[in-house]
Amino acid sequence: MRRSAVLLLLLTHCTRPQTKPQSEASASSSVAVAVVAPPRESSDVVDFGPPSTPEEEPPPPSGPAIAPTKPSKMTPIPTGKVKELSMGNGHGCAIMKDDTIACWSEPDALFPLGTVPAGPFAHVAVGGMTTCAQALDGKVVCFGSPKLVPTPPSEPVVQMCHDLGPCVERSNRTATCYDRDGGPLSLGTIRPGSLTCGDSYSCALGPSGELKCVMMDRVMAKGSQYASPANWRPPAKSFDRIFSGYQHGCGLAADGTATCWGRDKSGETRPPAGPFKTLALGEKLSCGIRPNGDIECWGSRAGGPWKGPFKAVAPSTHHDRGNTLCAIKSDDTIACWPYES
């Protein structure tokens, strides 16, 4: 995100009253994204209209996988073993083996990391302006700049994701997101474990597999052709899992092949052929882990593919300075390296 757009977003937030988190779907069968949304449980769910037809433009060919060698500008990267990894706007955080949170940052991050809570925690999600974490008891806490920190629900939750604002899944399988102004946005009943958070849209799969999304940033969406529902809508394909990025989304079919939609500034919606185990989306970059553990990315100039095996991957998000890829290696330690926009 350009600095001017971010500052405009910040100013807009600060002048509004404060009212005030990569999860896998648990179902194993593939189900089709509905062409027309089923009867809604909430008016917050966006109607994208007829599904889009993706352009058949192949991604550039990739060479043999290589090992990452360049050092990352983000420091200090944790040296111990980790359970989970998340990257956001200028910061990265991980759940360590002892259930504490360790974070690292760019020297010129646009938003402060804030005070990292002591834990213990099960999950962490670094967003565009703040960070949220889920404690072992299911409760969610967020931290960062005091004027921007959202207020998540006080009761324990089943699942949490976070980007511009947190989304939570409750024990009754309903999900709610909280936009940057704190307003609750209902996703209604969802498939357990299918929540995914993005800057423009946060989504989940419905009980019948339909894609359900809420608009997280109405200000940016109104001023961006890429964030409008007409240009973000997904194609009519079957997905087992879905992923949200800055202004684009991707889904994995039952056979592991990827399909993406939304903004395509640098090829981020044109995945290479073949199966992936999981995906992670940034601003102008999308990445996936192949069945053999190699990392392959598309969009921007990420280089690679990167020789694994890796267990998880996460690109930094939201702007083009200090772009970084971080991944969990087979020995549960973190490796980070830069990529070009």
Q: Would you state the pLDDT for residue 24?
A: 36
Grouping H, G, I as helix, E, B as strand and the rest as coil, residue 231 is helix
User: Residue 251 and residue 33: Cα distance in Å, rounded?
Assistant: 10
In this predicted model, what pLDDT tens digit does every residue of 299-338 receive, in sequence order?
A: 887 678 999 999 999 998 765 555 889 999 999 999 998 8
Q: Please tell me whether the peptide bond between 152 and the residue prior to it is cis, using omega within 30 degrees of 0.
A: no
| Residues contacting 154, CB < 8 A, separation 6+ | 139
Q: Would you state the pLDDT for residue 263?
A: 87
Q: Would you state the pLDDT for residue 82?
A: 98
pLDDT band at 35 (very low <50, low <70, confident <90, very high): very low
- Number of Cβ within 10 Å of residue 22's Cβ equals 21
> On the CB side of 311, how many CA atoms lie within 13 Å of its CA?
14
| Region 243-251 average pLDDT | 93
Length of the chain in terms of residues written: 341
pLDDT band at 10 (very low <50, low <70, confident <90, very high): very low
- Number of Cβ within 10 Å of residue 272's Cβ equals 18
Domains of the chain as residue ranges with CATH: 3-9+22-52+62-338 (2.130.10.30)
Q: Among residues of the chain, what percentage have pLDDT more than 70?
A: 75
Amino acid symbol at 104: W
Q: Bridge partners of 259? A: 251
User: Residue 85 and residue 310: Cα distance in Å, rounded?
Assistant: 12
User: Residue 227 and residue 246: Cα distance in Å, rounded?
Assistant: 9
Report residue 316 as tokens: 């930094």
Q: Tell me which residue of 166, 163, 161, 171 sits closest to 150, measured CA to CA.
A: 166
User: Residue 242 and residue 239: Cα distance in Å, rounded?
Assistant: 7
Q: Would you state the pLDDT for residue 204?
A: 96
Q: Would you state the pLDDT for residue 260?
A: 95
Q: Bridge partners of 257? A: none
pLDDT, mean over the chain: 81
pLDDT band at 76 (very low <50, low <70, confident <90, very high): confident
275-289 b/e (C-beta count within 10 Å ≥ 16 → b) = ebbbbbbbbbbbbbb
